[in-house]
Structure 1
Amino acid sequence: MTHNTPLSPRPLHHLAEAHRRVLTAGRLRAHGVTQAELTEQCRPDGPWQVLLPGVVLLHPGPPTSEERLHGALLYAARETAPAVPSQPGAGDPHRPVYTEAVVTGLAALTLHGFASTPPLLSLDRVDVLIPRMRRLRSSGYVRVLRTSALPPAHTVTGLPVAPVPRALADAVAELTDAEAVRRLLTEAVRGGHCEPAAVVRELTNAKLLGRPHVVDAVDSLLAEGRAIAEDRLYRMVLEYGLPDPVWNVDLRLPGGPHLGGLDAYWPEQAVAVELDTRAPRQDHRQDDDELWSEYARKREHLERLGITVVHITPRKLRESLEQQAAVVRTALMASGDRDPAAYVVVLPR
């Protein structure tokens, strides 16, 4: 046997896919590779290389983006046995199970399909979330982030990936470029990845709303989210054949007080639609409570006057447009069975 011959009692040539070309030292031992053989294979001119502590790349040359991601997870995860299919052909018995490790930050956003994040291979670092109590340090290209509770992972290309709002918060925590932060937050909403409220909630939990460039980006995000919600509301009326309302109006009692603004109003049926685009922020919780109380007071007042108020969130418009159209249509049809509403003055907002 020459120095160029791979040393392995069990053949490893079948490890062709990305998750198979990267293995932990423990899994290699399970394949029958001794420590001496592993050291020989990973010599400077050898056929294998140490990618991260305890993680081996089974070929020379640079790793692919997929191999870097699998390597990061193998490094950060608690090592378990590979998944075993319940029946022949049902899955891949060699695919690793990544326990207590989730890709987050810019790498996660790229995996989610963001266009404003760098390609995976150009990222100097892959961020991985692990439970706070584990003892593991960042190493190589892997940055370990600790959290009190791992978020429910999304599976993307076979990898556990943090949900977009959490990945955004972890990415924004490391960014000082205001324009880069704004681009990320805007794409999250404009691309339909999540709602503004979910993003603001994660930014609040991460205590990032004390940074001026993040606050400015959030203000743009909320404006973007409201514009998108209004556009979906217009589309709902058009696509589902609802009667045309008057848009963005204020209601007043004749010679009396202001009753509040509405996003859509059908005067003949006395039916109103109000979009709830609030995004709660911990540093403004009192303001948010007051705003919600104002919403409730306005709705109760209008309903006492005989006006039906349909309350819709941007998420409902994104996920169940047809259902929301049915709710509005039902309210419009039921108007004939109600007592006539009080007369109100309708003014442009």
Structure 2
Amino acid sequence: MNNNAPAVPLLLTNLSGDVQHRVLSLAQLREHGVPAGRVAARCRPGGPWQQLLPGVYVLHAGPPTSEERLHAVLLYAVRPSADGAKGVPAQTGPQSAQRPSGPQAPTAPPYSAVMITGLAALALHGFSSTPSVPSLTHINVLVPRTRRLRSTGCARIIRAHALPRSEQIDGVPVAPVGRAVADAVAELSDADSVVGLLTEAVRGGHCEPAALVRELNQSGLLVRPHVVDAVDTLLAEGRSLAEGRLYEMVRTYGLPAPVWNVDLRLPGGPHLGGADAYWPEQAVAVELDTRAQRQGGRKGDWSDDDAQWSATVRKREHLERLGITVVHLTPRKLRESMEQQATVVRTALTAADRRDPAAHVVVLPR
């Protein structure tokens, strides 16, 4: 027996979550009795271990799995900086949204406030329009802007002034879809690919169009013509889906047929605003909230949410002063609680007999 062989302490066989992925940092190995020299010896050519990223090791030979690459990138992002600065405290409690993957989902390692983002995150969210994790040459990881790390190997560092709330998918902290889409779009140069991501995010119910536009705007991407073109398609897609759900709600829950997509005006007077659905006899209007629409005709000229919401409130108050009931619906409400929204509209229609007669308005096609 060779007593000088760099044996691995038996304690390593009893490690928890990280050893299941066979990925450990140098600091973790030291904590379990493996000195740096022994780690280096086991990572020599032909050795049983390998260094995947600076200070991060895979405890087997051969190509790392996708899961191992993800955890290696996260461990690299939370390791102490070269200047000795420590990572920020681990996310626990309400800061991290949990998405259980099943009754035997592995416990998430205590990563600091970092998360997978970009195409890798979207693949974990289940997007079909993104490459699979094994085919990605690099994995984006979102870190606080104060972290002094460089992109290296398969780890690409993305800095954020304010980190979003992460989700746990199979033990991996992942950026929410809106932020992950924005970080993925930043790497894409053609409109078709961007349209594919945005469309799947909306059609798949992952994210509302307005939320995606906000993320793209905050990331400074709405100055790129191909992104603006893709957003034009997205907004049309989002409104079309919402209108389709509104038609479905009226049909499925037996509401009286309204007139669709109309403008309301006072006789000989000013324009009062549009309605996606209007019941003239009951003076009830339904308006879909698809904010983040373009103002004016210039590319990249996007409305401010607060200003647009204020205009919406003023319009609703004006109509209600004329005796018209305005029911405000969002695409998310129609998608997640259609029956409840149908009840809201039916209640407004039923209550019409108990209200004072509304002012006469002219109804025109929009």
Whether these two folds match at TM > 0.5 is yes
Q: Could you tell me the percent identity over the aligned residues?
A: 66
Structure 2 vs 1, CA of residues 242 and 319 (structure 1 numbering), >3 Å: closer, same or farther? same
Structure 2 vs 1, CA of residues 284 and 12 (structure 1 numbering), >3 Å: closer, same or farther? same
Matched with 2:328 is 311
SS in 2 for 1:284: coil
Q: Deviation digits for residues 6-48 of structure 1, max 9, x if unmatched?
A: 7212254466977541111111122222223212211110111
Alpha-carbon distance in structure 2 between the residues aligned to 1:30 and 1:94 = 20
Alpha-carbon distance in structure 2 between the residues aligned to 1:94 and 1:326 = 42
Query: 1:207-218 to 2 correspondence within 5 Å?
Result: 207-218=220-231
- Whether the aligned pair in 2 keeps the contact of 1:250 and 1:262 (CA below 8 Å) is yes
Gaps of 5+ in 2: 81-86, 92-102
Alpha-carbon distance in structure 1 between the residues aligned to 2:76 and 2:164 = 19
Matched with 2:203 is 190
Structure 2 vs 1, CA of residues 95 and 163 (structure 1 numbering), >3 Å: closer, same or farther? closer
Query: 1:1-349 to 2 correspondence within 5 Å?
Result: 1=1, 7-10=7-10, 12-13=12-13, 19-78=20-79, 96-279=109-292, 284=301, 292=309, 294-349=311-366
Code of the aligned partner of 2:75: L
Structure 2 vs 1, CA of residues 219 and 300 (structure 1 numbering), >3 Å: closer, same or farther? same
- Whether the aligned pair in 1 keeps the contact of 2:129 and 2:197 (CA below 8 Å) is yes
Code of the aligned partner of 1:76: A
SS in 1 for 2:301: helix
- Whether the aligned pair in 1 keeps the contact of 2:167 and 2:174 (CA below 8 Å) is yes
Structure 2 vs 1, CA of residues 13 and 126 (structure 1 numbering), >3 Å: closer, same or farther? same
TM-score by length of 2: 0.85
Alpha-carbon distance in structure 2 between the residues aligned to 1:295 and 1:95 = 43
Alpha-carbon distance in structure 2 between the residues aligned to 1:157 and 1:32 = 29
Code of the aligned partner of 2:22: R
Q: Deviation digits for residues 171-205 of structure 1, max 9, x if unmatched?
A: 11111122111111111111111001111111111
Alpha-carbon distance in structure 2 between the residues aligned to 1:216 and 1:324 = 33
| Stretch moving more, 46-55 or 16-25 | 16-25
Q: How many residues align?
A: 343
Matched with 1:86 is none
Code of the aligned partner of 2:140: D
- Whether the aligned pair in 1 keeps the contact of 2:276 and 2:286 (CA below 8 Å) is yes
TM-score by length of 1: 0.89
SS in 2 for 1:193: coil
Deviation, 1:296, is 3.7
Structure 2 vs 1, CA of residues 164 and 290 (structure 1 numbering), >3 Å: closer, same or farther? closer
Deviation, 1:238, is 2.4
SS in 1 for 2:326: strand
RMSD (Å) for aligned C-alpha atoms: 3.0
Deviation, 1:342, is 2.4
Q: Deviation digits for residues 74-119 of structure 1, max 9, x if unmatched?
A: 1112479999xxxxxx999985211021100110011111111001
- Whether the aligned pair in 2 keeps the contact of 1:154 and 1:162 (CA below 8 Å) is yes
Alpha-carbon distance in structure 2 between the residues aligned to 1:73 and 1:293 = 42
Deviation, 1:2, is 5.7
Q: Deviation digits for residues 41-65 of structure 1, max 9, x if unmatched?
A: 1111011111111111111110111
- Whether the aligned pair in 2 keeps the contact of 1:197 and 1:279 (CA below 8 Å) is yes
- Whether the aligned pair in 2 keeps the contact of 1:201 and 1:280 (CA below 8 Å) is no
Deviation, 1:267, is 1.7
Gaps of 5+ in 1: 84-89
